[in-house]
């Protein structure tokens, strides 16, 4: 059986929201059932479960932990890897890790749910695997795929080509073509977001979008601030919830930037973590065309990381629907949800009044946006993410 070697890739945060604990459970189950893990496991990134992974890797040299690395570095291992485990189980607006994996010719093994269905072939879907728990299903699916490889029942090269074909329609060039259709000829574009960082998906997206637009003749400026250190962020983020509802400082600064830069187009990205509604209002009278890019479900649900099914996002956006979408008996949680509802109502009003075109990364989010805010369908458009370089 063992003249063949199997490598499995994982790149994403090692934390609860990515369900890395599930992967750890499966690795431990392999050890318990087989005394060893029957594949090499390459793990990139870091976060909560680093120490637990290191403890496991100290006993099993088939686990290789590299910490946080660039996609260029990760792609050096693509020739060896037969599968990639997709981090995350909650409903995300777009599964960029899955797309990046397919672009490296590596099929994705995970749940074929929601928009992720297009990225996970039925052959690699966990949902129909045997088992009473998700850990058992993932364990059995991996065992089944490994058995197929060892018995020549799975053509790895053929599956790799299928993976690349799936990613083709999300190429950077297609993204450029779509951007030109939306923004028109090269012009000055102001991108607006909360924080400047390479850690989060939104921030990385803004960097990449700015680079691509610049390379194609657009003059791009980004308005954001450097994200605070983690411990400081944990202390003050709750105070910002109150401050951001009356964020005059950013409204004044942003107005000055617009007067000086004179953009022909303004595209908002993340606004709920710091900017909120006043900066949007401040630019209401500016004649530039305005776009809003929705990267997550924060605009529709109090705690998006708890959303496991589309029907958990209740539409239309009303106080009753918003509060009931996350039932809680904790008075502090209830108070926070009410505060967030008020804040989103203020943002919603500005979005409906000032935004010319609402851009969504997936079709199902387009539907949620239209039904939640009653925005004219002509002003809502799917604008998919692109493969990161």
- The yes-or-no verdict on residue 61 having pLDDT over 50 is yes
Paired sense of beta strands 63-65 and 357-360, if any: unpaired
- The yes-or-no verdict on residue 163 having pLDDT over 50 is yes
Q: CA–CA separation, 107 vs 25, rounded Å?
A: 22
Specify the pLDDT at position 360.
84
Specify the pLDDT at position 98.
74
| Residue scoring higher pLDDT (251 or 165) | 251
Percentage, residues of the chain above pLDDT 70: 87
Specify the pLDDT at position 95.
63
pLDDT digits (tens, 9 = 90+) for 258-312: 999 999 999 998 887 777 788 888 888 888 999 998 888 888 998 887 887 778 8
The CATH number of the domain covering residues in 171-382 = 3.40.50.2000
Least confident of 38-47, 77-86, 92-101: 92-101
Average pLDDT over residues 119-134: 84
Q: CA–CA separation, 166 vs 121, rounded Å?
A: 10
CA distances from 305 to 18, 22, 214 (A): 9, 16, 33
DSSP code for 283: T
Specify the pLDDT at position 188.
93
- The yes-or-no verdict on residue 51 having pLDDT over 60 is yes
Domain boundaries, the chain: 7-168, 171-382
Average pLDDT over residues 241-246: 58
Average pLDDT over residues 234-251: 64
Domain topology for 7-168: Rossmann fold (3.40.50)
Equal CATH topology for 7-168 and 171-382: yes
- The yes-or-no verdict on residue 48 having pLDDT over 90 is no
CA distances from 141 to 42, 53, 144 (A): 18, 21, 5
Specify the pLDDT at position 255.
92
Q: CA–CA separation, 197 vs 125, rounded Å?
A: 33
Least confident of 63-67, 135-139, 197-201, 251-255: 197-201
Helix, strand, or coil here: 266? strand
| Residue scoring higher pLDDT (168 or 321) | 321
CA distances from 374 to 177, 369, 378 (A): 29, 8, 11
pLDDT band at 247 (very low <50, low <70, confident <90, very high): confident
Specify the pLDDT at position 41.
93
- The yes-or-no verdict on residue 3 having pLDDT over 60 is no
């Amino acid at each position: 059986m063992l003249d063949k070697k199997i490598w499995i890739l994982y790149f994403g945060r090692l934390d609860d929201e990515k369900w890395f604990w599930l992967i750890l459970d499966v690795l431990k189950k392999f050890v318990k059932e087989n005394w060893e893990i029957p594949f090499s496991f390459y793990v990139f990134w870091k976060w909560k479960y680093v120490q637990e992974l290191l403890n496991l890797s100290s006993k099993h040299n088939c686990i290789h932990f590299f910490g946080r690395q660039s996609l260029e570095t990760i792609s050096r291992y693509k020739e060896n890897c037969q599968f990639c485990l997709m981090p995350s189980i909650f409903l995300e607006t777009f599964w960029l890790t899955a797309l990046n994996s397919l672009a490296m010719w590596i099929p994705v093994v995970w749940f074929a749910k929601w928009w992720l269905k297009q990225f996970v072939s039925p052959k690699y879907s966990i949902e129909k695997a045997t088992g009473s728990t998700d850990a058992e299903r993932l364990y059995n699916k991996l065992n089944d795929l490994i058995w197929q490889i060892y018995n020549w029942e799975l053509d790895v090269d053929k599956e790799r080509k299928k993976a690349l074909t799936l990613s083709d329609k999300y190429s950077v060039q297609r993204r450029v073509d779509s951007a030109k259709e939306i923004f028109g000829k090269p012009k000055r574009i102001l991108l607006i977001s909360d924080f400047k960082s390479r850690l989060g998906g939104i921030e990385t997206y803004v960097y990449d979008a700015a680079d691509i637009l610049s390379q194609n003749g657009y003059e791009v400026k980004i308005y954001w601030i450097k994200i605070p250190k983690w411990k400081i962020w944990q202390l003050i983020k709750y105070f910002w919830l109150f401050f951001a509802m009356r964020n005059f400082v950013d409204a004044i600064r942003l107005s000055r930037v617009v007067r000086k830069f004179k953009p022909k187009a303004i595209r908002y990205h993340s606004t709920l973590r710091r900017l909120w509604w006043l900066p949007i209002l401040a630019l209401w009278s500016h004649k530039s065309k305005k776009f809003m890019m929705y990267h997550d479900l924060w605009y529709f649900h109090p705690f998006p990381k708890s959303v496991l099914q589309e029907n958990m996002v209740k539409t239309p956006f009303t106080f009753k629907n918003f509060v009931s979408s996350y039932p809680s008996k904790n008075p502090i949680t209830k108070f926070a949800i009410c505060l967030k509802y008020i804040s989103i109502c203020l943002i919603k009003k500005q979005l409906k009044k000032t935004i010319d075109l609402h851009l969504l990364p997936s079709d199902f989010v387009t539907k949620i946006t239209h039904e939640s805010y009653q925005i004219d369908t002509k002003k809502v458009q799917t604008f998919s993410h692109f493969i990161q370089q």
